[in-house]
Amino acid sequence: MTAAPRTVAPATVRTTPADAVTPAPGRPTRPRPGRRLLRLVSPIVLLAVWEAAAQTGLLPPEKLPAPSAVLQTGWRLTAEGTLAVHLLDSLQRAAIGLALGGGLALLLGAVAGLLRIGDDLVDPPVQMARMLPHLGLVPLLIIWVGIGEELKITLVALGSFFPIYFNTYAGIRDIDERLVEAARTCGLGQLARLRHVVLPGALPSLFLGLRLAIGAAWLSLVVGEQVNAQTGIGFLMMEAREFAQTDVVLLGLLVYALLGLLSDLLLRFAERRTLSWRRGLKAT
Amino acid sequence: MATRPQGDLSPVLTADGVRRSFGATVVLDGVELAIAPGEVVALLGGSGSGKSTLLRILAGLDPDASGTVRRPLHQAVVFQEHRLLPWKRVLDNVSLGLTGPDVRARARAALAEVGLPDRDTAWPAELSGGQAQRVAVARALVREPELLLLDEPFGALDALTRLRMQQLFIRLREQHGFAALLVTHDVDEALLLADRTLVLEGGRLVEDAPVPLAHPRTPDDPAFGTLRRHLLERLGVAA
């Protein structure tokens, strides 16, 4: 009697995940509204406990101030204009570093991906350099470029170089050779093939590279701005630490987190608009 | 080995001494071929006989082959897979690489000819296999080719769709008068569509025979059956 359910069990276990996948393959199913609310409960409870603990003095404010205090500080610094100044400086560093590192990575990745000689000459040194944790290069970089703006920008550029290089390279290599061939029979020359086949074919990979690069850029900035900066979110945090303004330190962390979230959202929006052809692909 | 095409019309395509080897394996060992304007030639052969290799050479896609191939100015290729660019809408796929005036209007006309006038804004991924192959045919047709190279173009389709595509091919050929080289492993398809059949074996064309059947052709015609048996025997399949 006990044997019967046991033999049935594996079959039912196997069918359930398959059923779950069928509605929309490749697209994560969105949790239902009820579940989404449920998932909000524990973060809110944590925040409330933190707030209560800080208000009652259980948490000393110099160790961890209340969330409301952090928000108040944020409001004060925004109203003073201080936050905007530091934020703009940080953004500028990120943008310049990303443009330099990403631009070079795009160029070298394309050369290595498109040309055999480029692959032979460019790829080996890049593969070796990848093994170095770029944040570990800070001491060497200080010797090379000093402790000024150059250091921050170099760090961001280094951090964003590798994800973009590797994804450009892989994106080009993964293009279906048969599509390139079909384009040739349609009379497309080398440049036209680059524009109509290679670039759009590599675009999903390029977006992935850019997303990873932006993450790496923020990370590099966090480290870089703690070395002798006069402005920037990192400087704001380091200065606050010296005066034991824990609320400002927390605010800096919050800003970094929001920057990461915002850039990711923007990029995902751009990706959805540019790669709309993939939606049709996933639906079939 | 190939017969000269009848009449004094110069062929749209000639190939002389085409050789191709992959490592030590010789796939094509001196293929001679001429296709007359408007002539439909079916190229048969077992799998691995080098049919597709020959077609790729004729299409100019194989730089490592030796021999001389003289191609027409306008030729187009339809592959077994549709090979549409997934990131371009149907109309942009059809007009890919086209130059001259009214590119879009010409592409629309070609789409209408293959029976898909209202799918111009669809993504390739939204099409069925047969529809995608129709678009691939439209993409070839819009180039107004003197010669159409087809590499098992209907091989990946279901039986009903394949029959419809064969009808479409006959109709388009009557309207446009292009010459075609049709690589196929389907003897019935060859006899339905072609004016001449070639059999590739051991790297050479070992058979070159006209198909003396009047149109419209049907497989239940006794003469069709005779030719079919003969070709199958030639391909090493006992009837």
CB contact under 8 A, A283 and B125: yes
Domain A83-274 in CATH 1.10.3720.10? The answer is yes
Give the model's pLDDT for residue A18. Answer: 36
pLDDT of residue B219: 87
pLDDT tens-digit readout, A35-50? 888 999 999 999 999 9
Nearest to A196 among B77, B96, B122 (CB): B96
Residue B120 within any structural domain of the chain: yes
With a cut of 60, say whether residue A25 has pLDDT above it: no
- Say what the pLDDT of residue B238 is: 67
B124 and B158 within one domain: no
Same domain, B211 and B187: yes
Q: B131: distance to nearest CA of chain A, Å?
A: 14
pLDDT band at A277 (very low <50, low <70, confident <90, very high): confident
- pLDDT score of A28: 52
pLDDT in tens, A67-105: 999 999 999 999 999 999 999 999 999 999 999 999 999
Sequence ranges of the domains in chain A: 83-274
Number of domains in chain B: 2
- ipTM for the predicted complex: 0.89
* CA–CA dist B215, B231 (Å, integer): 19
User: Per the CB < 8 Å rule, is B96 touching A184?
Assistant: no
Question: B87 and A201: CB-CB below 8 Å?
Answer: yes
Same domain, B154 and B227: yes
Compare CB distances from B125 to A181, A192, A281 and report the shortest one's residue. A281
Domain boundaries, position B93: 88-144
Co-location of B4 and B64 in the same domain? yes
Q: What is the CATH number of the domain that holds B232?
A: 3.40.50.300
What's the whole-number mean pLDDT along residues A194-208?
Answer: 95
Is B150 domain-assigned?
Answer: yes
With respect to residue B16, please indicate whether it lies within any of the assigned structural domains: yes
Hey, what long-range contacts does B28-31 have (CB within 8 A, 24 or more apart)? B28/B53, B28/B54, B28/B57, B28/B65, B28/B203, B29/B202, B29/B203, B29/B204, B30/B67, B30/B203, B30/B204, B31/B67, B31/B200, B31/B203, B31/B204, B31/B205
pTM of the full structure:
0.81
Tell whether B5 is covered by a domain. yes
> Is residue B42 within 8 Å of B193, Cβ to Cβ?
yes
Q: Do A200 and B77 touch (CB under 8 A)?
A: no
Residues B6 and B23 occupy one common structural domain: yes
Q: Is B103 on the interface with A (CB under 8 A)?
A: no
Segment 60-99 of chain B within 8 Å of chain A by CB: 60-61, 76-77, 79, 81, 83-88, 96-97
Q: In which residue ranges of chain B is pLDDT below 70?
A: 1-8, 238-239
Predicted local distance difference test score (pLDDT) of residue B8: 53
Which chain A residues are closer than 8 Å to B52 by Cβ?
A: none
d(CA A70, CA A59): 14
Report, as an integer, the average pLDDT of A149-175.
96
